[in-house]
Structure 1
């Protein structure tokens, strides 16, 4: 696996994992997360969706060249669930940045419009 791809996917997983610590409990639930406890850390949600027991399993798989889509497939999980979870979490981070004034409404809309495509490409290990 190309090192750029590993860095991109690893960065997204890291951002979701670390970013969850600063979130409040007012998360907008989508159909993917209705069964998930939104008060648990984000890494637990990702582990639950991927049917894994530890974040080390994710990091090891990514380090060994697998994509999030590969990890999902290996665990008989629909990769769309992983994508939906990450899109929801990153959208919530954007909402917080908008509310805190670190993004303008225009920046928010622009970044929000790109999230699904970026996450989907990243999940499958696509560069562009």
Structure 2
């Protein structure tokens, strides 16, 4: 079980929104697809499990598989959904920073996308994929 895949499930709505109607403004018409790493650092993995108050990857995977959202998991286990949101926003901000630095997005696209990140992540943590 790869915890990065769990993070991807939790942020799938965000990734889909990059190409959706929320980004239909002229500044963001042609957006490259967000690149997702297939490996998570131990710190990211531990932060996510800690924020959700989960003891293992498997426990988290099973809860997601059962159709629970990240918000549901945090609520049921005394976790902190705000930490989950902050972690995901930080990771996606890093991706945006990298894309800006590499020139794959413009400063205007970066500004538009970054301004909507927290709202999109907040919406995604309430979405169950079951």
TM-score range, shorter chain: 0.5 to 0.7
Instruction: Name the residue aligned to 1:10.
Output: 9
Please tell me the root mean square deviation across aligned C-alpha atoms, in Å.
2.6
Structure 2 length-normalised TM: 0.63
Q: Structure 2: where are the runs of 5+ without partners?
A: 1-7, 16-35
Which structure exhibits the higher relative contact order, with contacts defined as CA atoms closer than 8 Å and separated by 6 or more residues? 2
Instruction: Name the residue aligned to 1:92.
Output: 94
Instruction: Name the residue aligned to 1:68.
Output: 70
Q: Structure 1: where are the runs of 5+ without partners?
A: 1-8, 23-38
Moved over 4 A (4+): none
Structure 1 length-normalised TM: 0.64
Aligned pairs, number: 99
Distance, in Å, in 2 between the alignment partners of 1:11 and 1:70 is 12
**Deviation by residue 1:54-100 (Cα, 9 ceiling, x = unmatched):** 22222221111100001111221221111111111111111111112
Distance, in Å, in 1 between the alignment partners of 2:9 and 2:65 is 8
Distance, in Å, in 2 between the alignment partners of 1:49 and 1:63 is 19
